[in-house]
Chain A
Amino acid sequence: MTTAAAKPATMAQALGRALRDAMAEDPTVHVMGEDVGTLGGVFRITDGLAKEFGEDRCTDTPLAEAGILGTAVGMAMYGLRPVVEMQFDAFAYPSFEQLVSHVSRWRNRTRGAMSLPITVRVPYGGGIGGVEHHSDSSEAYYVATPGLHVVTPATVEDAYGLLRAAIASDDPVVFMEPKRLYWSKSAWNPETPGEVEPIGRAVVRRTGRSATLLTYGPSLPVCLEAAEAARAEGWDLEVVDLRSLVPFDDETVCASVRRTGRAVVVHEATGFGGPGGEIAARVTERCFHHLEAPVLRVTGFDIPYPPPMLERHHLPGVDRILDAVARLQWEAEG
């Protein structure tokens, strides 16, 4: 419980606080990336860290993402715990080979002799009016790579807790930050940040009986809004915040779907080859006899992320979610 006196904090502040607390507790935690030092990052997540901990602990690197992640590998080999900031989703692509060919495989390649406790922070998703390469939902690439944990917060509280857990993890974690929610607020109090849970657990954000919306990151507030709007249609929707795509919490997800008998997966990433396909398949395989309708997906279209002037047509919105809920074969019930 947060105190009544607490001033609302933003997700950006919670992330910054998580970095600060991790650095204060553990001298091996190093923050590195483009503009993270003097400027405090283009989203100001690392604001004040270079001043407090010095530039050796919060380092402005040359502008080269493969070099940033590649050198982070070497630093982790030597016992440091690097937290790498990729400035934007699409700017992370040059680091892909290091991530896929090395970071994700290091523990396996060395038979567990050496792990790489690297956190790669990736601001992702659209809805901020960004020009091309500033709004991608790139999580499917990471999810498809064995050896990586992939987590994403949707609330201010989780931004703190999950980032602390990611940094504490001995395995590499791709930490996807829904940049649209950086300025979302909550009564979360940085002085009493709460328990740091291990990553890998989904959470029910809204209980309901009619159907389950399975979602994560930037789509959570949209789903909660849709669930409110659905009440007018007589649907009582449950909303599950996945929080972690790898590991995937089959237990929480399936328990919800078995209760409601219907499910819609909602995310911004493209539908074909996106995480929603895997989630729908897992739910179908595990909950088939509880399902009243096929698991549906509401996702971004299979197009390059559209420009700011058209992105509203691409992003999953309340109406599109309600349309999907309407297609969950309710007539069969009567």
Chain B
Amino acid sequence: MKRNSPTVLEQRGAYRPTPPPAWQPRTDPGPLLPEAEPYRVLGTEAARKADPALLRRLYAQLVRGRRYNAQATALTKQGRLAVYPSTTGQEACEIAAADVLEEQDWLFPSYRDTLAAVARGLDPVEALTLLRGDWHTGYDPREHRIAPLSTPLATQLPHAVGLAHAARLRGDDVVALAMVGDGGTSEGDFHEALNFAAVWQAPVVFLVQNNGFAISVPLEKQTAAPSLAHKGVGYGMPGRLVDGNDVAAVHEVLTEAVRRARSGGGPTLVEALTYRIEAHTNADDATRYREEDEVEVWREHDPIALLERELTERGLLDDEGRQAAKDAAETMAAELRARMNADPVLDPMDLFQHVFAEQTGQLREQAAQLRAELDAAAEDQQHDEPGGTGR
């Protein structure tokens, strides 16, 4: 590949220890520090500058997202989903993350972020495949440029860095946006990903949704940092602190970070302050580790209500608009419900099909064993059926 711009190392300059007093810090850390107060737009002067069409689009998405969360949670109660980690209360982050990306960009969701994947265009049924209890991710990652969802924490972050780095080496205009929770910032992969991203100046945006809890463990037991956004400065990348329930603010901060990445400015770490209104999953009991009073405070700071107030005050949303958003969400939920109520047909033999490009002899033998077991079971069933030949 041809390079006209200076290399990353040339931009940044050497960094070697020198005997005192010659040593100087390489960069001024000041501009990398996050804002003292979480950045907000809704209910402030900044909201006046926000694009009404964008706000309306985000509103419809938020309402749809809230309905998706409710429907998915209901599906766990009906046994149609094995488990669902809800993003109720966190819809602003999920929706904004998907909305700021261009077609060619990549989204790297954490296990909780199926809503962001759906907002980017993924079929909700495909997004929920793993949580349904199936053996695969359900979608081709290249179709919508969404990395395969999986459970390990923070391991998707270095993937995002590598992909963005590869795209940059090829001269392609691609940004990767990687999502992680507050608990995930304690993982080694978080640290390594941020470090690699900054060293390579990879076009990546890291979005940390600080929802207060890693299952039951509150953030004060995860970190002693002034804020998670402050972690950026240690790697040489800017950290931004934003009100994660203010969808206009999250959208603006992420848009800036994406623009910065796209123009060769390197990675950004964004901490969005939000709250997990539901328990960790349907299998969790949040009353064991937090008070309802705390949840109530956050219900008052609801992402949909915040935007609705802004839109209503500015005359951008009336009852008709509210109803239209609600109707669209209900249609989505009804379709999701209907499709999830159909029993999926799984072929156990598929378990052997994609372990390797070419099946090994060992797997061929084991597949043959399972095939024989299935055939024998099918034959037994045939014999047992009324009108069968019997034994």
Which A residues are within 8 Å of any B CB, using their own CB? 55-56, 61-62, 64, 66-67, 69-80, 94, 97-98, 101-102, 106-115, 146-147, 149, 169-171, 200, 246-251
The contact of A111 among B147, B170, B354, by CB within 8 Å, is B354
The contact of B142 among A64, A72, A113, by CB within 8 Å, is A113
Please list 19 pairs of residues, one from A and one from B, whose beta carbons are closer than 8 Å in the complex, sorted by A's number: A61-B196, A64-B195, A66-B189, A70-B157, A70-B189, A71-B159, A71-B165, A74-B165, A74-B176, A77-B166, A80-B169, A102-B159, A107-B355, A107-B356, A109-B148, A110-B140, A111-B350, A113-B142, A114-B142
Known: A67-B158, A67-B193, A94-B188. Contact between A112 and B163, CB under 8 A? no
**Alpha-carbon separation in the docked complex, A62 to B200 (Å):** 10
The contact of B360 among A70, A80, A110, A200, by CB within 8 Å, is A200
Asked if B225 is at the interface of the complex by the 8 Å CB criterion, the answer is no
Asked if B95 is at the interface of the complex by the 8 Å CB criterion, the answer is no
List residues of chain B with CB within 8 A of the CB of A79: 166
Asked if B30 is at the interface of the complex by the 8 Å CB criterion, the answer is no
List residues of chain A with CB within 8 A of the CB of B350: 111
List residues of chain A with CB within 8 A of the CB of B147: 77
Q: Once the chains bind, are B159 and A66 in contact (CB under 8 Å)?
A: no
The contact of A74 among B148, B150, B158, B170, by CB within 8 Å, is B158
Chain A CB within 10 Å, residue with most, of B1, B159, B188, B356: B356
Asked if B36 is at the interface of the complex by the 8 Å CB criterion, the answer is no
Min C-beta distance of B107 to chain A, whole Å: 12
Asked if B152 is at the interface of the complex by the 8 Å CB criterion, the answer is yes
A-contacting residues, B120-174, CB 8 Å = 135-137, 140-142, 147-148, 150, 152, 155, 157-167, 169-170, 174
Min C-beta distance of B333 to chain A, whole Å: 27
Known: A56-B1, A109-B150. Contact between A64 and B357, CB under 8 A? no
Q: Once the chains bind, are A114 and B141 in contact (CB under 8 Å)?
A: yes
Chain B CB within 10 Å, residue with most, of A67, A69, A79, A111: A67
Q: Which residue of A lies closest to B365 (CB)?
A: A250
The 8 closest A-B pairs by CB, nearest first: A74-B162, A70-B158, A67-B192, A71-B162, A74-B163, A78-B166, A247-B360, A113-B140
The contact of B196 among A67, A80, A113, by CB within 8 Å, is A67
Q: Once the chains bind, are B196 and A71 in contact (CB under 8 Å)?
A: yes
Q: Which residue of A lies closest to B134 (CB)?
A: A111
The contact of A73 among B1, B135, B158, B357, by CB within 8 Å, is B158
List residues of chain A with CB within 8 A of the CB of B162: 70-78
Apart from A74-B162, A75-B162, A77-B166, list 14 A-B contacts with CB within 8 A.
A62-B196, A66-B188, A69-B158, A70-B161, A71-B158, A73-B158, A77-B159, A78-B166, A79-B166, A108-B355, A110-B148, A111-B354, A249-B361, A251-B361
Q: Which residue of A lies closest to B140 (CB)?
A: A113
Q: Once the chains bind, are A98 and B158 in contact (CB under 8 Å)?
A: yes
**Alpha-carbon separation in the docked complex, A108 to B135 (Å):** 8
List residues of chain B with CB within 8 A of the CB of A111: 136-137, 350, 353-354
Asked if B362 is at the interface of the complex by the 8 Å CB criterion, the answer is yes
Asked if B199 is at the interface of the complex by the 8 Å CB criterion, the answer is yes
Q: Once the chains bind, are B159 and A74 in contact (CB under 8 Å)?
A: yes
Min C-beta distance of B339 to chain A, whole Å: 19
**Alpha-carbon separation in the docked complex, A39 to B140 (Å):** 40
**Alpha-carbon separation in the docked complex, A13 to B188 (Å):** 35
Known: A62-B196, A70-B158. Contact between A106 and B148, CB under 8 A? yes
Q: Once the chains bind, are B141 and A113 in contact (CB under 8 Å)?
A: yes
List residues of chain B with CB within 8 A of the CB of A107: 354-357
Min C-beta distance of B145 to chain A, whole Å: 10
**Alpha-carbon separation in the docked complex, A176 to B334 (Å):** 53
List residues of chain B with CB within 8 A of the CB of A112: 353-354, 357
**Alpha-carbon separation in the docked complex, A112 to B139 (Å):** 11
List residues of chain A with CB within 8 A of the CB of B354: 107-108, 110-112
List residues of chain A with CB within 8 A of the CB of B174: 78
Min C-beta distance of A92 to chain B, whole Å: 15
List residues of chain B with CB within 8 A of the CB of A98: 155, 158, 189
Min C-beta distance of A270 to chain B, whole Å: 22
Min C-beta distance of A177 to chain B, whole Å: 22
List residues of chain A with CB within 8 A of the CB of B353: 111-112
List residues of chain B with CB within 8 A of the CB of A101: 150, 152, 155
Q: Once the chains bind, are A171 and B137 in contact (CB under 8 Å)?
A: no
List residues of chain B with CB within 8 A of the CB of A74: 158-166, 176
Min C-beta distance of A251 to chain B, whole Å: 8
Known: A62-B199, A70-B193, A71-B161. Contact between A102 and B140, CB under 8 A? no
- One digit per residue, 1 when the CB lies within 8 angstroms of any chain A CB and 0 when it does not, for chain B 176-216 equals 10000000000011001101100100000000000000000
Min C-beta distance of A87 to chain B, whole Å: 16
Q: Which residue of B lies closest to A244 (CB)?
A: B360
Q: Once the chains bind, are B159 and A70 in contact (CB under 8 Å)?
A: yes
Q: Which residue of A lies closest to B164 (CB)?
A: A74
Q: Once the chains bind, are B355 and A67 in contact (CB under 8 Å)?
A: no
Q: Once the chains bind, are B356 and A110 in contact (CB under 8 Å)?
A: no
List residues of chain B with CB within 8 A of the CB of A71: 158-159, 161-162, 165, 193, 196
**Alpha-carbon separation in the docked complex, A55 to B1 (Å):** 11
**Alpha-carbon separation in the docked complex, A259 to B179 (Å):** 58
**Alpha-carbon separation in the docked complex, A122 to B135 (Å):** 30
